[in-house]
Structure 1
Amino acid sequence: MSITAVLYSHDSVGLGHARRNRALAHALAADLPRLTGQPVRGLLIAGHPDATADSLPAGWDWLVLPGFTRTAEGYASRSLDVSNERLSSLRRSTAAAAIKAMSPDLFIADRHPFGVDGELLDSLEWLRSQGTRCVLGMREVLDSPAAAQAEWEKIGGASAAARFYHAVWVYGDPSVYNPISSGEIPQPLATRTRFTGYLSRGRPTDELSDSSVRAPQPYVLSMVGGGSDGGRLALAAAQARVPAGHRHIILTGPQMPSTDHDSVELAVAASPDAAQIQVTRLAPHVPQLVREAAAVVSMAGYNSTAEIMATRTPALLVPRAARRAEQPRRAHALAAVGAVDTLALEDLNAEALSRWLAEAVVRRCDRGAVDLDGLTRIGALAAAELALGPPSRRHSTARPGLGMLRPQPRPATAAVPSAAPSGPARPAHAAAPTTTPLSAPAAEARFDFHAR
């Protein structure tokens, strides 16, 4: 017997959703077998072909749906010459067929409970009929409270999502930013929310290869996530002076428009520091590049920020200002606890970056006040959900001497209040895995300090 998980991300802009799910897949593969006595297999459903550049654990694979992208008028087909209706139908039926074929014990959707244009609704109805435990994974900042409320209302309110999702995992630290207190996660989802901590430490990284980006230390790093809207920051980085004795790596991202990438290349060619600057679209080992950098300049997307937070590298976040308030709110919250510096996009220029880089390369940053150990808790959270599933979804153990997870009611302390938790400091790491599976209460005890 084995545990099967399916993770979904829509991926219309950037790769952040898929990369969060990829980090979860590695965490589940590492910890669930030790907690349950069962091997784990899984499928990641994504919406952008670049997602598959990232490796998965043994027994896991990618399914890439034909892509949507965002335009000024809303969603549109990324590549296929078909109407939105036909593309939506194709994605809906493909996802449903895959989910039914996998028949998962655990389903995790990233950020959008019903997918693009409700493409998950058929699948969610089927999963509900099968008793599959369904989890909605959320970054710690959604948008401004008003915008988040409008999004919930558009899909029928939080109660519509609560009909299908047994739990909400927020990938953040509520003492830094609490989307329940802000109203971004309303009732009834708030009462089934768990804060995991940022998905920072323990992120998977691929082995270096002949094509990997390398630079002799010391170097500074500028990165713009997927790059679709990172042209202005990348261009300012290309025009900035490189600190004396350093090199500068600029990652423009696989989704940066060719015109923006070309502008960066031209700016580098015109720079007096051109010999010290290296421009590339993609690096498969960004966490290592960030860790070994003397300083990093970045947009404020969740995944880039999470990778930065796992290090002591000084960071300047230049948040995207258009479309959502997510990135400015994240940057300001982290700056308020001393974890990063931040610069508004309207204040961005080469001179400002030059000054910051020259100052930052001579220091390190202590981020010990922020909970960065979310990935160490994902296995226990998943084990607790599986323990609450119906008998037909509970597996006998694969190894002798290990008992099954037994479903038990959630303890009363499991509800998350709208205020950030207080009291004793949280442990730096989750408890070490035991040699026997955890009961549901024992599994929840590993993270109930988030729910006081």
Structure 2
Amino acid sequence: MSITAVLYSHDSVGLGHARRNRALAHALAADLPRLTGQPVRGLLIAGHPDATADSLPEGWDWLVLPGFTSTPQGYASRSLDVSNERLSALRSSTAAAAIKAMDPDLFIADRHPFGVGGELLDSLRWLHSQGTRCVLGMREVLDTPAAARKEWDRIGGASAAAAFYHAVWVYGDPSVYNPISSGEIPAPLATRTRFTGYLSHGRPTDELTDASVRAPKPYVLSMVGGGSDGGRLALAAARAQVPAGHRHIILTGPQMPPADHDRVQRAAAASPDSGSVQVTRLAPHVPQLVREAAAVVSMAGYNSTAEIMATTTPALLVPRATRRAEQPRRARALAAVGAVDTLPAEELTAQALSRWLADAVTRRCDRSAVDLDGLARIGGLAAAELGLGPAARRCARAGSPAERPDPVRGPEWASSQDHVLTAAPPYPSPAHAAARCAATPLSPSAAETRFDSHVR
């Protein structure tokens, strides 16, 4: 026998959803066989072709749906000249065919329970009829509570999602930011929510190749995620003064518009420090670049932040202030516990970056007060969700102070997250975070070693 998992992400903007699922795939491949005695295989359904640049464990593959993209008027086809209705029907039928062919034991959707325009509903009904365990994976910050409520209302309320999803995994530390206390995760889902910790330690990386980005140490790093809206930050970084004796790597991302990328390159070439500045779009080994950097400047997307948090590299987060309040809220919460510095987008200048870089390269950052071991818990949570393996439940409960009856499976099964329902504010005090996260169960080196054999 084997365990089959299907993970879905819609990927209308950036690659954050697919990259989270890719990290989960590596965690499941690393831990589920050990916990259950069964091999695991899987399929990642994504919505952007760039997702497939990232490797998967043996026995896993990608399925890329024709893409939607987000516009000021709403979702629209990324490439195909078809209506939203036809594109949605194509994506829905393709996803449903793949899911039925895989017949998964476990289904995990990232962030959007029903996909774009309800494209997952047919699949979810079929999965429900087959008894498949379904999990909704959520980043720790959604948006302002008011905006989150509107999103839930648009899909019929959180109770509509609760009809299909047996569990919610929040990829964060509730002592840093608690979306239940803030109201971003409503009551129908709160009782089945488990906080995993940030997906930081043990994130998969690809092997270095001759084409990999390298720079003599010491260097500083600026990165803007996928890059679709990172032009302003990358341009300021290109104009910033490079700390004495350092080089500066600027990653513009695969999705930065060509005009913005060219503008960054011209600014770097015109800089007095041009000989020390390297501008490139791609770097498949970003976690290693971050770990070895003297300092890093970044937007505040979930995955970039998670990669930063796994290191001691000083970080300045410049959160995107458009579309959603997610990034400013994340940056503010992490700054409150001393894990990062933050600069509001409206205060971004080359001079501000120059001052921060000059100071940051003289220090390191201790982030041990934050729970960064989410990937070490994913296997145990999945095994417990499937009811497999004697060690699974203990692993899922590790570090939890109490148990609460699960509304789906009844009082005999515990969610192990009693503390998530407390009325704590979404933003903590540094002392509270330090007390909550005084110890972590897996060192960064141990977590990375555990994943080595699963990264290709």
TM-score (norm 2): 0.89
* 1:341-367 Cα deviation digits (max 9, x unpaired): 000000000000000000000100000
Q: Which runs of 5+ in 1 are unaligned?
A: 390-405, 432-452
Displacement of 1:427 in angstroms is: 4.4
Q: Which amino acid aligns with 2:222?
A: S
Kept in 2: contact 1:224–1:233 (CA 8 A) = yes
Answer yes or no: is 1:227 the counterpart of 2:227: yes
Match of 1:173 in 2: 173
Answer yes or no: is 1:120 the counterpart of 2:120: yes
Match of 2:23 in 1: 23
Kept in 1: contact 2:194–2:415 (CA 8 A) = no
Secondary structure of 1:261 counterpart: helix
Q: Which amino acid aligns with 2:413?
A: R
* 1:79-113 Cα deviation digits (max 9, x unpaired): 11111111101000000000000000000000000
Kept in 2: contact 1:223–1:251 (CA 8 A) = yes
Identity %: 84
Displacement of 1:418 in angstroms is: 3.5
The one of 420, 423, 448 equivalent to 1:419 is 423
Q: Which amino acid aligns with 1:409?
A: E
Deviating above 3 A after TM superposition, structure 1's stretches of 4 or more consecutive aligned residues are 412-416, 418-427
Q: Which amino acid aligns with 1:319?
A: P
Secondary structure of 1:233 counterpart: helix
- Give the whole-Å Cα distance in 2 for the aligned partners of 1:98 and 1:413: 33
TM-score (norm 1): 0.89
Kept in 1: contact 2:66–2:91 (CA 8 A) = yes
After superposition, residues 239-388 of structure 1 pair within 5 angstroms as 239-387=239-387
Secondary structure of 2:45 counterpart: strand
Displacement of 1:417 in angstroms is: 1.2
- Give the whole-Å Cα distance in 1 for the aligned partners of 2:363 and 2:382: 39
- Give the whole-Å Cα distance in 2 for the aligned partners of 1:365 and 1:140: 22
- Give the whole-Å Cα distance in 1 for the aligned partners of 2:126 and 2:66: 22
After superposition, residues 167-206 of structure 1 pair within 5 angstroms as 167-206=167-206
Cα gap change, 1:330 to 1:19, in 2 (>3 Å): same
Q: Which amino acid aligns with 2:109?
A: A
Displacement of 1:413 in angstroms is: 5.0
Match of 1:79 in 2: 79
Kept in 2: contact 1:201–1:372 (CA 8 A) = yes
Match of 1:397 in 2: none
- Give the whole-Å Cα distance in 2 for the aligned partners of 1:83 and 1:262: 32
Match of 2:440 in 1: 428
Q: Which amino acid aligns with 2:97?
A: A
* 1:296-327 Cα deviation digits (max 9, x unpaired): 00000000000000000000000000000000
Kept in 2: contact 1:218–1:247 (CA 8 A) = yes
Match of 1:394 in 2: none
Answer yes or no: is 1:409 the counterpart of 2:412: yes
Secondary structure of 1:377 counterpart: helix
Aligned residue-pair number: 415
Displacement of 1:408 in angstroms is: 8.9
After superposition, residues 82-93 of structure 1 pair within 5 angstroms as 82-93=82-93
* 1:385-415 Cα deviation digits (max 9, x unpaired): 00189xxxxxxxxxxxxxxxx9992137544
- Give the whole-Å Cα distance in 2 for the aligned partners of 1:225 and 1:200: 16
- Give the whole-Å Cα distance in 1 for the aligned partners of 2:442 and 2:88: 41
Match of 2:39 in 1: 39
Kept in 1: contact 2:6–2:43 (CA 8 A) = yes
Secondary structure of 1:25 counterpart: helix
Displacement of 1:419 in angstroms is: 3.5
* 1:96-136 Cα deviation digits (max 9, x unpaired): 00000000000000000000000000000000000000000
Cα gap change, 1:242 to 1:160, in 2 (>3 Å): same
Secondary structure of 1:365 counterpart: coil
Displacement of 1:72 in angstroms is: 1.0
